[in-house]
Structure 1
Amino acid sequence: MTTTGLGSLPGDDIREWTRVVLDAVDIPFLPELPGRPYGDMVSRTIAVLAELAADLQPAGWRLTGGSDPRASLDQRRTRSVLQEDLDVLEELADGYTGPLKLQLTGPWTLASTVELPRGDKVLADYGARRDLAEALAHGLNEHVSEVRRRVPGVDLVVQLDEPGLPAVLAGAVPTASGWGKHRSVDGPGAVELLARVIDAAEPATTLVHCCAARPPVEVFTKAGAGGVAVDLSLLTELAWEQIAIAAEAGTTLYAGVLATTGAIPEPDRAAAPLIRRWRELGLDPELLKKVVITPACGLAAAPSPADARARLDLLRRIADVVAEAAESDL
């Protein structure tokens, strides 16, 4: 059994958190620290965008309509923060071989978050959202190449965060006025842009993370994602059926079994919903061994760094419980 975190962590000490994740989980990851200026997942993604300029407004990130990366002081700052984080990773991961995960915001969540130069979301403009996805794809490809240069020997995993995609598909993203909703995007259209970004991550493997009651698993798998990360406590019956189909087709489930806040449970209790559902669906126990155990979502909302560290440390004990259950079912 394998464990990892989903990216975000509390506090602002990138050096300490990089040390922690290199030791605490089986798939270490580049930490995201939203408690720092320019440390959130959208700012991290703005840092890697190629050929598009953006600046930070009170309402959030906005494209400026220019292609000069020096057009925005805020964008240069995001890139500086990312480079500093990669410097720390390069130093502390010297000699490391094995999997390493990077996280970026996916194209649809980015399009429903970032604004056009004259207002409203990029989502509203078909051409603009394609340009944004292309810039993300190009920037992701360069980002993957840079990390591979800095930390030779790693097997990179790229996580695309798409919490906004269910609302995009449902036509539930509000317009700038607040009086209407943006038109829904159909499944094939959603697959097309997501696939463009996933393809750009090669040779890294990819997963898509979406904490929702009905994450669009079929969109993720058709776009070429090798894994899906979900919060198990939220899933509907239909979502579980889609996950079962995906798992049997070879997609890796990143199972969010551990709550990010509240009392820290015993390993048996945290593992129980995953084991029970696997048995109810009649899935192969061998496939259960391939599940990656994660927190339910990012840990930035944990009450303290110590609490977040305790939750990361608990993941391997939960994985042991799941592995024992899989063995007993064989």
Structure 2
Amino acid sequence: MPHHITKDGEGLPVPNRIVAKPVRRTGQIIAAIIVALLAAMVIKGLITNPRFEWNIVWKYLFNERVLEGVGYTLILTVLSMVVAIILAVILAVMRKSVNPVLRGVSWFFIWFFRGTPVYTQLVFWGLFAVLIPKLSLGIPFTNIEFWSVDSNTIITAFNAAWIGLALNEAAYLSEIVRAGLEAVDPGQEEAAKALGMKRTQIMRRVILPQAMRIIVPPTGNETIGMLKTTSLVLAVPFTLDLQFATNAIANRIYKPIPLLIVAALWYLLITSIMMVIQSKIEKHFGKGYEARPVGSKVKTPLPGKVDGELKDDVAKTNEAMFAGLNA
């Protein structure tokens, strides 16, 4: 009986080579079938259950009041996150400052806004005009005023909503930014100082661009979280966001479940778009850091390859790498 003969990558025969059989993955197949059946049951229940009242969902999905709520929710999310990111960078830089006053103020801000619930903070911002009826500018600790205005004209419900959300979010983002800044190799800053760059230039041109790779992913998650946190602005009270709009319609027609589904569908749609944008931004700031998979098949020969050699040979890939390092 002839032996089974196989050939290597160079086409040379290799007698008596063991031909491995693929491992049977029975458990994974059974688990996949069970999960697929459960998913099918859930989908069937969602579609066929008359209590979900999908006809009402489709009727109010593009309702004028709902679309207005979507717009205000997006505005609150974007505005709050932009302000929060700016404040977070300032707070993170203050935490790294050599000045103890700046470090203390930054620490107190983070401690206070992380230590109290966002709902409670929004309630206080809604009562801002009660606590401080007038905003004025003048000489401190005297009665001399150059300018004053009624608080209600500036701290409206909308302004109170995004200010409260932004301040709370800045406390969390500042720790993310600080972690990203500290992840940058200290040698980068030392090299920049040796070139005569100022501290602001070093932070803006050297440290921050490298820290963005670490800062962007959790910041994207915080942005998605902010989108859903806007549903708490009722505490101000601000009554034009998506959640309040759907609740108002539900209370009017006595159909809470369909309108909750309407809000959920819009939140899911916006979140999905944000996830795609986050992925694109992460890839942009991850350029130069993505490791090339060793041994992966490519269309063109890797460095160090000659005709007849495998294009995915790990040894040759490493050989080319070490040759480059030695050069």
TM norm. shorter chain > 0.5:
no
- From the CA coordinates, give the structure whose radius of gyration is larger: 2
TM-score, normalization by structure 2: 0.23
TM-score, normalization by structure 1: 0.23
More strand by share: 1
More helix by share: 2
